[in-house]
Amino acid sequence: MNQFTFSLQATDGHARLSRFDTPHGPISMPAFAPVGTLANVKTLEPRDLHELNATLVLSNTYHLYLRPGHELVERMGGLHQFMGWDGPMLTDSGGYQVFSLAHRRSLDDDGVTFRSHLDGSSHRFTPERVMEIEQALGADIAMVLDECAEPLEREYNEAALIRTHRWAERCRAAHTKADQALFGIVQGGIFPDLRLQSAAFLTELDFPGYAVGGLAVGETKEQMYTTLDETCPALPADKPRYLMGVGAPEDIVEAVYRGIDFFDSVLPTRIARNGALLTRDGRLNIRNQRFAEDQRPIAEDCTCYTCRTFSRAYLRHLFKAKEITGLRLATIHNLHFMLGLMEEIRTAIRGGTFADFRADFHDRHTITDQAVRHAQRQKRAASAAKR
Amino acid sequence: MNQFTFSLQATDGHARLSRFDTPHGPISMPAFAPVGTLANVKTLEPRDLHELNATLVLSNTYHLYLRPGHELVERMGGLHQFMGWDGPMLTDSGGYQVFSLAHRRSLDDDGVTFRSHLDGSSHRFTPERVMEIEQALGADIAMVLDECAEPLEREYNEAALIRTHRWAERCRAAHTKADQALFGIVQGGIFPDLRLQSAAFLTELDFPGYAVGGLAVGETKEQMYTTLDETCPALPADKPRYLMGVGAPEDIVEAVYRGIDFFDSVLPTRIARNGALLTRDGRLNIRNQRFAEDQRPIAEDCTCYTCRTFSRAYLRHLFKAKEITGLRLATIHNLHFMLGLMEEIRTAIRGGTFADFRADFHDRHTITDQAVRHAQRQKRAASAAKR
């Protein structure tokens, strides 16, 4: 019996309502996966994730490999048991972190040697080694090792794609864990012909799911959307489609519109810890002086614990006083917002009203110029760090 | 109708089982009050405190006066509404913080001028000013302003006691809030005659409750216990007795044995954030290498969320990786331990078996030499900082 069944339940334009079954339960899609980098969604516990109706949780292979080590996690019964999360889990391959976070990368066709960002120790990832690590961690979904190229550079992408495809084949061959689904990752930067070539190559390898990688790391939003316009139709309709590392609400709405099924991103949890709170109207910085005596909740219509219990004035006080509880209450709110957004998206697709939902969403959701500039700076920095 | 009723339910030797009614509900005593310095028990939420069966919560007047300001808290509906805690609350007078935390103290008979430890701004506390601040905060129990003297210095204590008594009179006169009980504070260091003099003076003022102040800040455990031996019998039997700032489990057992009814301390929450976990056998430092692959919970018989859900190996990983969730899970465990200890103490007094409980507790509870040395260093540092 196949433990990984993808069921397409409804479509609305290119948007898809679906269900992906895993050994740890079903994922209703479109879905958003909170990121628990070190086997823990920062400031939260598994009971919080259940209360927030999270289904899929991501954890980072690069980080867990370095600390506490995949072999320790395996001896402790695997990632689920170790962190006390009984729902579906996904591990990335660590490729992105090797290129964005590790020091002194040295890439060859066989793999990549790097130094730990923690202690400078030397390590080597090959496709076979990464499969060994991800299988030891034991998530429901594992990702192939890929090379995450600068999305705007044609020659870099051409060379990287050859390696990425060879590595995908090697991962496919090395992966033997029956209760873990290995997903392929389509690369090719912003170049339509490379994306199509990658989609075709990986489809031949017949993965149980496909990710679109290498986006939201340096290109404009328009370039990202255009790339999705071109890539999604080339992916098999009967497999889940995963847009990696994308978490801005407006990008999620646009990606679902183009046929993406699920997402992960540190965005809602990371900006929460900076005091940026997500609302239907855009982001609100709770540190702002204008909230000092504001007795309203973050959002009047929000049903999360934070909004049911505390005023903006109190949350601002916690942030100004650097109280840890503030980070947690903001994280709860932002994840509630994201997971609620996904629920609304699924309802709209089911009802055939996703086009209206999308238009209404953008009418109301404003991103301040400051937020846009900040996001652009972050992207440029991430892109520069990768090279 | 008096909203503050003290009912003595049983005694066992000097140990007392009692109930103190407040406008926000009853406190079963002996009780331990977690400390929420800045209107928040660090890393926790009100729902956690309810789950832990906390009753009384303390908050610090000095800190709240500086940030966000007592007037803001009052405009937000008072401390209870501001922080979302609907149970009994107590505020200290800020006196201890002025002497231990603030900069450039200048003391005179009328009050004390000091500089904020946050921004160096100048402030002045007088008995009347502190009553204004505590009444604005609106806790169920407020404390008089006192001078916290170095407990071993006779002359200092003699002079301080005169001021402390005069300030207690002025606080009594300035306090008018009917739904708030103002407690007196007995001082006098380790000197029996001064303690008796202080108890007699304050009893004349007829406060609804009495604290023993100025202990656990530099003297030995034996000196603290002896002081309690001498002070408790001099306090009115029909009023609650509060030992301020004491939170080591062995000290609580000894103080209950001598007739103390309730306690507050940052100890369980502060040491939790350092990875020191309380168990019946003593303290366990979760960062220790020997827990790296320990699949057991912190304590086998503990029923807290942390112990029900996570292994020592996982908690150690969270602490080593500096994950905020680790601080929270440790805090939950330590408060569960303290509040559970108080429940066991109440049960023992009710059953007339407190002497056995005390003997069993000390047989099992060992404090490592390292922990003792660390505690001694902290006391010396606190004592030095005060002078």
Nearest CA of chain A to the CA of B42: how many Å? 6
- The mean pLDDT value of chain A amounts to 94
Residue A375 predicted with pLDDT over 90: no
Read off φ and ψ for residue B69, nearest 5 degrees. Answer: 105, 135
Cα B115 from Cα B21, distance rounded (Å): 37
Closest by CA position to B96, among listed B211, B195, B253, B196 = B211
Binning pLDDT at 50, 70 and 90, where does residue B218 land?
A: confident
- Phi then psi for residue B198, to 5 deg, are -70, -45
d(CA B253, CA B256) in angstroms, rounded, equals 5
As a whole-number percent, the residues of chain B with pLDDT over 70 amount to 94
pLDDT exceeding 70 applies to what percent of chain A? 94
Output the average pLDDT for chain B. Answer: 94
Chain segment A309-362, per-residue pLDDT in tens? 999 999 999 999 999 999 999 999 999 999 999 999 999 999 999 999 999 999
Tell me the per-residue pLDDT of A288-307, one tens digit each, with 9 for 90 and over.
999 999 999 999 999 999 99
Top-confidence residue, B27 or A370: B27
Whole-number pLDDT of residue A218? 87
> B80 near B64, Cβ under 8 Å?
no
Spell out which chain B residues touch chain A, with contact meaning CB-CB distance below 8 angstroms: 38-47, 67-68, 72, 75-77, 82-84, 292-293, 295, 305, 309-311, 313-314, 317-318, 320-321, 323-325, 327-329
Q: Taking CB atoms and an 8 Å limit, are B45 and A309 in contact across chains?
A: yes
What per-residue confidence (pLDDT) applies to A374? 54
Q: Which residues of A touch B41 (CB under 8 A)?
A: 325
Residues B113, B62 contacting (CB under 8 angstroms): no
The reported pLDDT for the residue numbered B387 is 45
On the question of a cis peptide bond just before residue A297, with omega within 30 degrees of 0, the verdict is: no
B42 vs A309, A317, A324: nearest CB: A324
Catalytic residue chosen out of the listed positions B48, B92, B140, B261: B92
Distances (CA, A) of B48 to A11, A237, B79: 42, 46, 18
Say what the pLDDT of residue B289 is.
97
Q: How many residues does chain A have?
A: 387
Interface of A with B (CB under 8 A): 38-47, 67-68, 72, 75-77, 82-84, 292-293, 295, 305, 309-311, 313-314, 317-318, 320-321, 323-325, 327-329
Find chain A residues with C-beta within 8 A of B67's C-beta: 317, 320-321
Q: Which residue of B has its CA nearest to A273?
A: B324
Q: Which of B40, B68, B325 comes nearest A325 by C-beta? A: B40
Q: What is the side-by-side order of every strand in the sheet holding A112-115? A: A103-107, A112-115, A122-125
Q: Is there a contact between A38 and B309 if contact means CB atoms under 8 Å apart? A: no
Using DSSP's 3-state secondary structure scheme, residue B69 falls into coil
Chain B residues with CB under 8 Å of A59 CB are none
- Chain A residue closest to B37 (CA)? A323
* Cβ contact B96:B245 at 8 Å: yes
What is the band of A187 on the pLDDT scale with cuts at 50, 70, 90? Answer: very high
Q: What is the rounded distance in angstroms from the CA atom of residue A44 to the CA atom of residue A61?
A: 20
Distance (Å, rounded) from C-alpha B69 to C-alpha B90? 17
Segments of chain A assigned E as strands: 6-12, 15-22, 25-29, 31-33, 57-59, 89-91, 103-107, 112-115, 122-125, 141-143, 181-186, 210-212, 241-243, 262-264, 276-279, 282-285
Give the DSSP per-residue string, A299-317: STT--SHHHHH--HHHHHH
pTM above 0.90, yes or no: yes
> Taking 70 as the threshold, does the pLDDT of residue B267 lie above it?
yes
Residue A303 CA to chain centroid, in angstroms? 24
Report the pLDDT value the prediction gives residue B373, as an integer from 0 to 100.
Answer: 54
Q: Three-state SS across A260-286?
A: CCEEECCHHHHHHHCCEEEECCEEEEC
Chain A residues close to B321, C-beta within 8 Å: 38, 67-68
Q: Is the pLDDT of residue B376 over 60?
A: no
Between chain A and chain B, the number of residue pairs with CB atoms below 8 A apart is: 108
In chain A, which residues have their Cβ closer than 8 Å to the Cβ of B311? Answer: 76, 82
Determine the distance in angstroms separating the CA of A75 from the nearest CA of chain B, rounded to an integer: 8
HSE-CB of B303 using CA atoms within 13 angstroms: 6
Q: How far apart are CA B145 and CA B184, in angstroms?
A: 9
Ranges of each domain in chain A: 6-265, 272-371
Give residue B36's identity as a one-letter amino acid code: G
ipTM of predicted complex: 0.94
Q: What is the pLDDT of residue B102?
A: 86
- The verdict on whether B301 is a catalytic residue reads no
**Does the domain made of A6-265 have the CATH classification 3.90.1260.10?**
no
pLDDT reported for residue B193? 97
CB-closest option in A39, A72, A293 to B75:
A293
Average the pLDDT over B176-190 and give the result: 97
Q: pLDDT band at B99, cuts 50/70/90?
A: confident
Kindly list the residues from chain A whose CB atom is less than 8 angstroms away from the CB atom of residue B82. 311, 313-314, 317
Greater confidence, A380 or B195? B195
> What residues of A are labeled active site?
92, 264
| Phi, psi dihedral angles at B229 (to 5 degrees) | -50, -40
Q: Of A59-63, A336-340, A378-382, B110-114, give the lowest mean pLDDT range.
A: A378-382
* Secondary structure of residue A332 in the 3-state scheme: helix
Q: A37-47 as b/e, with b when 16 or more CB fall inside 10 Å?
A: bbbbbbbbbbe
Residues of chain A positioned with their CB less than 8 A from the CB of B45: 305, 309, 325, 328-329
How many other CB atoms are there within 10 angstroms of residue A233's CB atom? Answer: 13
Is pLDDT at B140 greater than 50 in this prediction?
yes
More confident residue, A367 or A118: A118
Out of B38, B293, B325, whose CB is closest to A323?
B38
- The first and second tokens of residue A149, run together, are 């190229």
Contact status, residue A142 vs residue A70, Cβ threshold 8 Å:
no
CATH number of B6-264: 3.20.20.105
* B293 vs A385: which has the higher pLDDT: B293
On the question of pLDDT at A372 being above 80, the answer is no
Q: What is the mean pLDDT of residues B162-166?
A: 97
List CB contacts of B130: < 8 A, sequence separation 6 or more: B61, B93, B94, B95, B144, B145, B171
**Confidence band, pLDDT 50/70/90 cuts, at residue A386:** very low
Interface mutation target, options B323, B329, B331, B332, chain A, most CBs of A under 10 Å: B323
At residue B386, the pLDDT reads: 47
pLDDT mean over B108-123 = 95
